[in-house]
Amino acid sequence: MNPESPLPRRRFHRTVFALAGVYNIGWGMYAALDPQWLFRFAGMPPLNHPQIFACLGMVIGLYGVLYLEVARRPEHNWVAAAIGLAGKVLGPMGLAVLILRGEWPLATIVMCVTNDFIWWIPFGLYLRDAWPNFRGTLRR
C-alpha cells in the first residue's frame, strides 16, 4: 500500500478520533477547573497541590487536539495516534502500581475506564489499518 491508499474503515476512525478529541478536551477542562474531583470521588484526602492534577488536565486536553487532527487527516497521523495509545496503556500501568501498593484506592480506576480502556480497541484498530500508509512514508 502506498501513502495515498484508502484507509480501511476511514469513517469509523474519523468518528472515533473526533469523539476522543472532544472527550479529552472536555475531561481536561473539567480536571483543570475542578482538580479535586477524583479525590472526592474516591474518598481520598484532597491534594495539597491541586495544580498538579490541573496540569494533567491540560495535557489530556492537548491530547484531544491531537485526536481531532487524526480525525481530520487519518491517513497522515499514525504517530500521533500511536503516542496517544501509548499514554492510554502506560497511564493504567502507573495507576495499577499505586493501587497494588495500597497508595490509591481501587475507586480511582474510574479514571482509566473512561480515559483509557474504552479507547484501546478502536485506537489499536486504527493503528493496524493505518500502518501500511505510515510504513510507506518510512520508505521514502
Give CA–CA dist 62/96, Å, rounded.
24
- 107 Cβ contact partners less than 8 Å away, ≥ 6 residues apart: 41, 42, 43
How many folded domains does the chain comprise? 1
5 found inside a domain = no
The segments of the chain whose pLDDT lies below 70 read 1-5, 136-140
pTM of the model: 0.89
**Percentage of the residues of the chain whose pLDDT score is greater than 70:** 93
Q: What angle do CA 100, 101, 105 make, to 5 degrees?
A: 70
130 found inside a domain = yes
Provide the domain limits for residue 66: 10-138
Mean pLDDT of the chain: 93
17 found inside a domain = yes
Give CA–CA dist 30/107, Å, rounded.
19
77 found inside a domain = yes
DSSP SS3 for 19? helix
